[in-house]
């Protein structure tokens, strides 16, 4: 499997543009899936620098309806896009009240793409699943949400989604921000794939600070038997440093960055 980082808060090298947000291209066997689109056309520029032809990618997934994952959709055409219907909710920052939802409307997106809205997980290519409707069993997760809805109630981001891929080595879980909780997401991926062997967990883990939640996530990962942990975007530098130090040596822990390519 190959993971190309087309957009991320960090840059992999000077020739690639960083941007607050995320976009990943996942290639496994014959399948190609684009997860998220950043907030501008930066993901397309970085793809060009990597020699990646995004026109060859037919399937895409939106992880949730925040601008930093969704607004690059304005540049997308001729794709089959999987998303949860709640991604179009109007949502605003709890901190400053600014609009943090996605700019493009459902009708605008459907002008140039096939939009498939799902409230339950489904197979999108052979062995590759749109992971949505994630149950929230771990009580320490999914408590800190950054946005509110139009009526000022807490936005619990039930549209939070990801991708899970069955491989010969086990299950690969790929997230946008993991607002449902990274442990909740992984546990649900096991259920969807009917396989408890987690080979890799990749994407934003929603660990914006160092706290008790981070300690519990690290404990969970240590017991998971995972071989690859690749994180970035909404996982802060301090959390990355602590995880890199505390993960067993046999775990390949790396930090994402725009322009980086990982073969796992």
- Across the range 146-151, mean pLDDT stands at 96
**Total domains present in the chain:** 1
- pLDDT tens-digit map of 169-225: 999 999 999 999 999 999 999 999 999 999 999 999 999 999 999 999 999 999 999
- Band (pLDDT 50/70/90 cuts) for residue 242 is very high
Buried b (16+ CB within 10 A) or exposed e, 49-77: ebebebeebebbbbbbbbbbbbbbbbebe
Q: Is residue 118 part of a domain?
A: yes
Q: Is residue 121 part of a domain?
A: yes
Looking at residue 3, the DSSP 8-state letter turns out to be: E
- pLDDT tens-digit map of 55-109: 999 999 999 999 999 999 999 999 999 999 999 999 999 999 999 999 999 999 9
Name the average pLDDT for the chain. 97
Q: Is residue 263 part of a domain?
A: no
- pLDDT score of 30: 86
CA angle 21, 24, 25 (to 5 degrees): 155
Range of the domain at 63: 2-258
pLDDT at 143 over 90: no
CATH number at residue 240: 3.60.15.10
Q: Is residue 8 part of a domain?
A: yes
Cα 253 to Cα 240: distance, rounded to the nearest angstrom: 9
Q: What phi, psi does 154 have (nearest 5°)?
A: -65, 135
- pLDDT score of 43: 98
């Amino acid at each position: 499997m190959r993971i190309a980082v087309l957009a991320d808060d960090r840059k992999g090298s000077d020739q690639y543009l960083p941007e607050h947000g995320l976009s990943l291209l996942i290639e496994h066997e014959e399948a190609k899936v684009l997860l998220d689109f950043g907030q501008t056309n930066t993901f397309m520029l970085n793809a060009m620098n990597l020699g990646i032809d995004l026109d060859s990618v037919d399937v895409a997934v939106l992880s949730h309806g925040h601008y930093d994952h969704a607004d690059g959709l304005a540049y997308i055409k001729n794709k089959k896009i999987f998303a949860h219907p709640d991604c179009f909710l109007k949502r605003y920052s709890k901190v400053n009240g600014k609009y943090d939802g996605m700019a493009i409307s459902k009708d605008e997106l459907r002008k140039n793409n096939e939009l498939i809205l799902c409230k339950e997980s489904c197979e999108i290519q052979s062995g590759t699943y749109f992971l949505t409707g994630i149950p929230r069993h771990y009580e320490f997760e999914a408590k800190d949400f950054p946005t509110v809805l139009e009526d000022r109630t807490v936005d619990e981001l039930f549209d939070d989604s990801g991708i899970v891929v069955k491989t010969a080595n086990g299950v690969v879980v790929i997230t946008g921000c993991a607002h449902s909780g990274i442990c909740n997401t992984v546990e649900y991926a096991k259920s969807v794939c009917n396989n408890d062997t987690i080979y890799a967990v990749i994407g934003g883990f929603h660990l914006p600070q160092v706290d008790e939640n981070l300690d519990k996530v690290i404990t969970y990962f240590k017991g998971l038997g995972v071989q690859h942990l690749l994180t970035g975007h909404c996982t802060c530098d301090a959390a990355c440093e602590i995880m890199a130090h505390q993960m067993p040596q046999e775990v390949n822990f790396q930090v994402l960055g725009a322009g980086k390519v990982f073969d796992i």
